[in-house]
Amino acid sequence: MVMQFEELEAAATEEEIAAGKAKNTAVAGFKRRRPVRKPFPEHLPRERVVIDAPTACSCCGSDRIVKMGENISETLEVIPRQDGRTCLTNNAAKRALRGIALGRKSWLFAGSERGGGRAAFMYSLIVSAKKNDIDPQLWLADVLARLPDTTASRVPDLLPWNWQPSERQIAA
């Protein structure tokens, strides 16, 4: 036990010496570097604008003007996006609902949430047909008549953008 005590005492002494050395160690201060802006990408258009210096002093009218320096800067000009064919307003949706406006209160109570989902599904089919310049009633009647005899691989042919009227409808 005496030997263990001596070992502990020696280890503590070594730790005190190491701590004394650590106190004298000087740590260099951290210098924060200023951020450097990356140059603009090369594919962006560039325009050089040179502003001519005045030939005479605006205060006293003297023509003894000395060039002191020049500034060169790059700035990005904001160009509005030119965002495709999609309209950013919901006017098209509002116009589409005008055809349903007579039944608005009755559609509010479609019987259940499931009934409301079915009505929304039917509206999407009708609007899809209208967007493809197809008479929705004619298209739905034809699709519902053909659907039982159609294989799963031929179902995409019945979608409004692929649909071709049957011979019977062409004759009518």
For 134-152, the pLDDT digits (tens) are 999 999 999 988 889 999 9
Q: Is the dihedral of CA 122, 124, 130, 133 positive or negative?
A: negative
pLDDT at 53: 78
Q: Which tokens in the block code for residue 150?
A: 């159609």
Residue 62 has pLDDT above 70, yes or no: yes
Which amino acid is present at 141?
A: A
Q: Which residues of 132-146 are buried (b: 16+ CB within 10 A; e: fewer)?
A: eebebeebbebbeee
Per-residue pLDDT band for 106 (boundaries 50, 70, 90) equals: low
pTM of the model: 0.40
CB under 8 Å to 157, separation ≥6 — which residues? 150, 163, 164
Residue 2 and residue 7: Cα distance in Å, rounded?
9
Q: What is the mean pLDDT of residues 111-127?
A: 81
pLDDT of residue 153: 92
Q: Cα–Cα distance between 37 and 72 in angstroms, integer? A: 14
Task: Tell me which of 101 and 34 has the higher pLDDT.
Answer: 34
Which of 29-43, 79-93, 150-164 is predicted least confidently?
79-93
